[in-house]
Amino acid sequence: MGKLYIVPTPIGNLEDITLRAIRVLKEVDLILAEDTRTSGKLLHHYNIDTPMQSHHMHNEHKTVEGIVRRLQSGENVALISDAGTPAISDPGFLLTRACVENNIEVDCLPGATAFVPALVNSGLPNDKFVFEGFLPVKKGRQTRLTLLAEEPRTIIFYESPHKLVKTLSHFEAYFGAERLVSVSRELSKMYEETIRGTVKEVLQHYTDNPPKGEIVIVVAGKK
């Protein structure tokens, strides 16, 4: 029986990968990559020539069965995403669950993920928090925000740059203009920045300065 390795990859700076992760990616029989073109740059940087196969949200339902068979035949497989830890708002859950159901060993390596540094550098309480990932785009969004308005723990969201202003405006409506918020973007990259303040202040900043890059929003819980 083979083993499935869940391998975190850098969220920006290519140096943010562990020595163990590099070794595993070199030793496995196959690497499952969310986007083989994106991952190819990382593998080339570290002289890793292990074969890759595409595994993303649009095909994972179809590929899981075949991957499980390969693992059962004795092959070792590594799963990576474009950035960060697989299965955190990325593909990975379905394959992990299938391996657990088939008694295939799963080894998740520790490593990069975007929400941890965003939470720590937000200055907001981090002893208890809720990770929400991406909010529903349409259906269920209002219901979710209404529930979260009463959440006492710090709340973490992922968001795309072109939806950030809209999401902050929703926070103003549901959480209140004075709720504290921290927005981190381009973590570990050259233009990394974190903007902290009230929802009203941060909304105004990004209304005046349209954002780019990957974004993590950290919102204070209700007092």
Structure confidence by residue, pLDDT tens digits, 92-148: 999 999 999 999 999 999 999 999 999 999 999 999 999 999 999 888 999 999 999
Q: Which helix (H) or strand (E) holds 38?
A: helix 36-45
User: pTM value?
Assistant: 0.92
Note whether 2 and 70 are within 8 A (CB): yes
**Which pLDDT tens digit goes with each residue over 40-63?**
999 999 999 999 999 988 888 889
Q: Which of 143, 128, 132 is nearest to 216 (CA)?
A: 132
Alpha-carbon span 96 to 55, nearest angstrom: 13
Alpha-carbon span 71 to 111, nearest angstrom: 23
